[in-house]
Amino acid sequence: MNSAELDTWREAAAIAGHVREYVASLMKPGAKLIDLSLEGHRRIEELGGKPAFPLQISVNHIAAHYCAYVGDESVLAENDLVKVDCGVHVDGYVADTARTVDLSKDGRHAHFIAAAKGALEAAIETAGPGVDVVEIGREVDRVIRSHGLNPVRNLTGHGVGRWIIHRSPQIPNVPSGRGRLKAGTCVAIEPFATDGPGLIHEEGDAHVFMAKKTAKKVKGSDPAVLDAVRAFGGLPFGSRDLLLHHPYDAVADTLNALMRANQLMVYPPLCEKPGTFVAQFEHTIYVHDDGVEVLTANTEPSRKPAEAATRN
């Protein structure tokens, strides 16, 4: 990767880091998930980025992939344990980052936060060029268990690429898998800590989709919606991203037509056992020849809002 590419990646990551913290700062009992999500998107674009996937806010036993939808009445409540997962791209360079917020007054979820955050720190400490992903998983597993919790073993971190949100290697949260970190690549590391069994399953209606940017015209699809789908460039999008700009029937017909033609991936929420809690922390790192750089630790994008507007 050349230095201009890395700088673009750093910029996407700083926007993602900024918006992760910004949305976390807006979380309070009574806040609507859809409002927080749309405000996050607004801020991403104001800073000169684009969502690399719809901003996700997942509460309590929902580990990931809860995507608030148009008309979603879900609100945050006191004692919720809330994950914000934010993906940003600039010119296709994808950064992926998440954190967890404890909405209890008595800090009852502090050990979840300490476990997932500590595991991410330990994983980053272990990471470097040539490092076996099994060793990263071993550290994540060790730290989370030291807090009396379980790692979620069927969720993993992943490589990220240009216009690619998930690529090899997978970064496990337990000592398993195969692959090594390669210099010159970016990976997202994302430990999940839970008091449940540590296994998630798909549950509920999907509001996250993905189609190739070359998605073919299929019978029953609406041309304007199909163009909008292709414009995501092969990255995931939310039903809300389409419904805010296109009529319901056109969106539903197009998504159904793409699904029938096997041109649409569908991502429902990923849930632990009801009544349990899950915490997640995630950073995107760049692997240098001699160490790693935590790209999404930066929360100060260099492009000011006004500057971003003139450059678009």
**What amino acid positions are annotated as catalytic residues?**
85, 96, 158, 166, 190, 282
User: Rounded to the nearest 10 degrees, how much is the dihedral formed by the CA atoms of 14, 17, 20, 26?
Assistant: -80
d(CA 49, CA 159): 20
Amino acid at 208: V
In the complex, minimum distance from the CB of residue 109 to Mn ion, in angstroms, rounded to a whole number? 20
Smaller CB separation from Mn ion, 63 or 258: 63
Smaller CB separation from Mn ion, 188 or 228: 188
Residues touching Mn ion, count (CB under 5 A): 5
In the complex, minimum distance from the CB of residue 282 to Mn ion, in angstroms, rounded to a whole number? 5
Q: For residue 79, which of 114, 123, 109 has the smallest C-alpha distance?
A: 109
In the complex, minimum distance from the CB of residue 97 to Mn ion, in angstroms, rounded to a whole number? 7
E strand or H helix at 308:
helix 305-311
Q: For residue 141, which of 151, 131, 156 has the smallest C-alpha distance?
A: 151
Both tokens of 127, joined, read 């990471």
Residue that has been written with the tokens 């070359």 in this structure: 214
Task: Report the residue from 10, 13, 96, 243 that binds Mn ion according to the rule CB under 5 A.
Answer: 96
Query: How far from the centroid of its chain's Cα atoms is residue 166's Cα?
Result: 10
Residues of span 51-90 touching Mn ion by CB under 5 A: 85
In the complex, minimum distance from the CB of residue 189 to Mn ion, in angstroms, rounded to a whole number? 9
Site pattern 162..191 for Mn ion (x: CB under 5 A): --------------------------x---
Smaller CB separation from Mn ion, 258 or 292: 292
Smaller CB separation from Mn ion, 186 or 215: 186
Angle at CA 254, nearest 5°, toward 164 and 269? 55
Residues of span 257-286 touching Mn ion by CB under 5 A: 282
**Helix and strand element counts for the chain (H, E):** 8, 17
Contacting positions for Mn ion (CB under 5 A): 85, 96, 98, 188, 282
